[in-house]
Amino acid sequence: MKKLILAVVATAVLGAAPVLAGSQQAVTYVDDIKPLMERRCYACHGEYSPTFEMFDADKEKYAAMMVGPRLNSYEQMLIVVSGDEAGALMRRLDDGANTPDGQPGNMYRHLGNNDDERSRNLQLFKNWVGHWTLKRAAELTDEDRGQFKVLERSN
Ligand code: HEC
């Protein structure tokens, strides 16, 4: 009887392990966010877009050209999550659940071609960021900062 129980437990543990590992696999910039952004964002935020500095110096010109600041590296993404432009990514991508006026951010529509795709991709960004706050840099507490995940790659 003991042997049987052990066998059952062992099967349960070993059998469940890969499934668990799969479902808990962390979202990373390299594996998930960059490929998604290449498809959905780089037309306006890719290598031909201005740096933050250039963009900030002439926002109106670039906005009229439908060009946003360059967001094609991990470092640039950190700026809009928790750096100088903290929360910009979350404010722009939120579906309206967290915005003061209940309206989606103005980049939300670029997340997908339909509601289903948009909500799946929003969830991916949320899992990557780890702490979906719309606060600006000056408002972030140490506790907020400690909760961001933003993994670059899986080890
Ligand atoms: C059709 C062009 C276009 C696409 C596609 C696009 N964006 Fe944008 N984005 C812009 C423009 C233009 C601005 C700057 C004007 C503004 O502030 O709205 C901007 C601004 C932003 C900002 C604010 C940057 C800052 O610090 O001011 C973020 C963050 C952003 N976009 C993220 C994204 C993400 C993520 C995607 C893909 C899911 C995306 N955008 C897709 C055109 C685009």
Ligand 1 centroid to residue 10 C-alpha, Å: 50
Whole-number pLDDT of residue 10: 53
> Within a domain: residue 82?
yes
Whole-number pLDDT of residue 127: 98
> Within a domain: residue 102?
yes
Say if ligand 1 is within 6 A of residue 90 CB: no
- Tokens coding 126: 């949320």
Residue nearest to atom 2 of ligand 1 (CA): 44
Determine the structural domain holding residue 99 and report its residue range: 26-40+73-147
Q: Which residue has the tokens 């900030």?
A: 56
Torsion of CA 82, 88, 92, 95, to 10 degrees: 40
Whole-number pLDDT of residue 19: 46
> Within a domain: residue 99?
yes
Whole-number pLDDT of residue 17: 45
> Within a domain: residue 58?
no
- Write out the chain's pLDDT in tens, 155 residues: 566 655 555 555 555 444 444 456 899 999 999 999 999 999 999 999 999 999 999 999 999 999 999 999 999 999 999 999 999 999 999 999 999 999 999 999 999 999 999 999 999 999 999 999 999 999 999 999 999 999 999 97
> Within a domain: residue 45?
no
Whole-number pLDDT of residue 145: 98
Looking at the 3D structure of the chain, how many domains does it have?
Answer: 1
CA 75 to chain CA centroid, nearest Å: 13
Residue nearest to atom 14 of ligand 1 (CA): 68
| Predicted model pTM | 0.88
